[in-house]
Amino acid sequence: MNERVIDGLSHITLIVRDLEWTGRMFETVLGGKEVYRSGARQFSIAPERFYEIGGLWIAIMQHQIHETRTYDHVAFRITDQDYDLYRRRIVDFGLELKESRPRIEGEGRSLYFHDRDNHLIELHTGALADRLAAYARLSA
């Protein structure tokens, strides 16, 4: 049997109430770059904009948002040396910084914040290999 595998992540779409505000947050806090805006020509189900953030395609669409917060989240990888820089950006933008869950040594550090549409965004200094190694050390 010839098995096909997923090639990678295509994009992430977030539903937002205000394209302008979310775009400013992406650019100011996450260093994103806007690469498309639908404007008057709408090809999808709602007005939308596309951003590149860390090589990822992030789409935002203006539509009815979720009224509750969950732990579902998108995590972007940052370097440990940039941790304080991003902490400052989050606070300076007026976002509510959430304390990280308790971490074990070696799995990296995280900054969490909700945008005003209740999306939880994480900035994390570790990689999958770091976390697996940390868990393996504790399991040994």
Question: pLDDT for 56-90, tens place per residue?
Answer: 999 999 988 778 888 888 999 999 999 999 999 99
Q: For the chain, what is the mean pLDDT?
A: 89
Residues 26, 77 within the same domain: no
Contact 22, 46 (CB under 8 A): no
Residues labelled as active-site residues = 48
Residues with Cβ within 8 Å of residue 86, at least 6 apart in sequence: 29, 78, 111, 123
When pLDDT is cut at 50, 70 and 90, the band that residue 112 belongs to is very high
Residues 53, 16 within the same domain: yes
Residues with Cβ within 8 Å of residue 41, at least 6 apart in sequence: none
Residues 5, 50 within the same domain: yes
Residue range 24-31: mean pLDDT, rounded: 97
Residues 55, 82 within the same domain: no
Domain boundary among 47, 65, 83: 65
Give yes or no for residue 6 having a pLDDT over 70.
no
- Poorest-confidence range of 76-80, 98-102, 120-124, 131-135? 98-102
Strands 73-77 and 96-98: unpaired
- Domain span holding position 70: 66-140
pTM of the model: 0.80
Number of domains into which the chain is organized: 2
Residues 11, 52 within the same domain: yes
The CATH number that applies at residue 72 is 3.10.180.10
